[in-house]
Structure 1
């Protein structure tokens, strides 16, 4: 039995050693390593798109585990860590972590997985604009997008000075809590929602001081990154787009912010001739764990429609 095999389950079905699938390494165009895990879909899954998940700000692969688990009967899935997160080494100091370069890295991962695709890209929060950029770069290999409570340039709040202040305060608090070993406690409900192996990975990798450095680099000029999207909107060539909004408030998203974010999500869905906007009433911003089954159903709905 190889190092990543676990054996066979009921009926001879292969059971991966890890709930998020087999580990592997992809290389970016400049030689950096990106750690990823691939979970095989059902027999005959070669005929359906591979679902590739992209995390939010400084978020690695682990918190996608519940959504992945709910899709094993419909499609292969891939999760990965951006440079400086999880098990992917940090990018050198001179390598940008701005949104467009993160999208290039995702493109490099897709090249490694199979340059022709097809792929369904699922992006949460800051991962929303990221997957839009990656899809616009090579729309022919992308079958559709699912944007999960995404940051969106159509939301004017994201350009206000108060947002920059909130980013600075949030970053300082995150660094301090990580240094004190308290950051994991703040997110213990998120970690508790994961399978045991993904939860162990999250505790070991998701709340470190090293992660906070990457977080700071990804926040270098969030307003500038969003303004670039306003000035040069990513062309998605009529791809089907599902936009999922959370229905509940959460830390950093009081009712006034929640309402305006949801309006921007409805606008984004309307930009696609095959757009769909859905609000999940029991989800907060961490839709992946607060409404994992409902989110997985939206991904499933898109995949089976293709």
Structure 2
């Protein structure tokens, strides 16, 4: 262990791990506070219905990826899970959507039933998904639904395969670039705490998803969704340490941030009664948003 002027310097791995831990702990504390206390937080983080693996593993680039497609009809809905999650988190949404249209959930590389891959980018994952769908005989048009970090994966897929994508649903989507630009200036005394949280989340998704987040953020900035119909579902956000006016300004900042992705084509819904896992807490809202996009695609 190195010393500097008589002080002991912790190894870099220790300080890096501590930053992740502090960031995630702060995120948890804030989420519990916004939920109305530990009891309310536990109630809304109930375990979803058991998932029965009804799909298949398909070889893509020498790796097996899991895909579960059900139902009939067009467009085909693609469900993208959040960081560290897999297709099983979509059970309620998947079951309902499959009654009216073709719906596919899958496990990204390294998640659930899919083989891992080395560090990669959002664009690499989008190519994986398109190859997987083609190998399974699934074709567009597609409506892509992404929860949390899955929203970033969905955005890159939609931008890359724009001619095949007719709509995008962002379910409490995660984008630290948008957050830093729009939300950070409003936080006042909480900015430092927010920075630690955001850095911790970036480190978390890089580690858990084997994601090159620096390159992936650059891909998000360069992508274009102009003209694409987008449904945005956002969990209610309220920071009790800030006043009403600031909380209202933050809510408006979120709205304008997502509106900038496709001006004039974005529909916003506040997911009352839900936390971050809107697709588990309020699957009905996700289903309604998807079906609105499907109707727009079918009758445009």
Gap change, CA 1:225 and 1:262, over 3 Å in 2 = farther
Post-superposition offset of 1:135:
1.3
What corresponds to 1:203 in structure 2? Answer: none
Whole-angstrom CA distance in 2 between matches of 1:257 and 1:113:
46
Post-superposition offset of 1:266:
3.8
Match runs of 1:151-300 below 5 Å:
151-152=174-175, 153-156=177-180, 165-166=196-197, 216-218=207-209, 221-222=212-213, 225-230=216-221, 232=222, 234-236=223-225, 238-248=227-237, 260=250, 263-272=253-262, 273-300=264-291
Gap change, CA 1:291 and 1:130, over 3 Å in 2 = same
What corresponds to 2:58 in structure 1? Answer: 26
Secondary structure in 2 aligned to 1:70?
Answer: helix
8 Å contact from structure 1 (residues 241, 274) kept in 2: yes
What corresponds to 1:103 in structure 2? Answer: 126
Post-superposition offset of 1:269:
3.1
1:192-232: CA deviation from partner (whole Å, max 9, x where unpaired): xxxxxxxxxxxxxxxxxxxx9x87152655355324423x1
Normalising by structure 2, what TM-score? Answer: 0.66
Aligned residues: 234
Q: Cα RMSD (Å) of the superposition?
A: 3.3
* Structure number, greater radius of gyration: 2
Post-superposition offset of 1:57:
0.8
Gap change, CA 1:143 and 1:168, over 3 Å in 2 = closer
What corresponds to 2:66 in structure 1? Answer: 35
8 Å contact from structure 1 (residues 155, 260) kept in 2: no
Whole-angstrom CA distance in 1 between matches of 2:226 and 2:199:
36
4+ residue runs of structure 1 moved beyond 3 angstroms?
18-22, 113-116, 157-172, 219-224, 255-262
Whole-angstrom CA distance in 1 between matches of 2:52 and 2:255:
29
* Equivalent residue in structure 2 for 1:78, among 81, 94, 104: 104
Match runs of 1:8-157 below 5 Å:
22-28=54-60, 30-41=61-72, 45=73, 48-91=74-117, 95-114=118-137, 116-152=139-175, 153-156=177-180
Post-superposition offset of 1:131:
1.0
Whole-angstrom CA distance in 2 between matches of 1:167 and 1:156:
8
Normalising by structure 1, what TM-score? Answer: 0.65
Gap change, CA 1:282 and 1:144, over 3 Å in 2 = same
Post-superposition offset of 1:292:
0.8
Moved more, 295-304 or 269-278: 269-278
8 Å contact from structure 1 (residues 122, 128) kept in 2: yes
Gap change, CA 1:34 and 1:257, over 3 Å in 2 = farther
Post-superposition offset of 1:32:
1.3
8 Å contact from structure 1 (residues 21, 40) kept in 2: no
Gap change, CA 1:132 and 1:119, over 3 Å in 2 = same
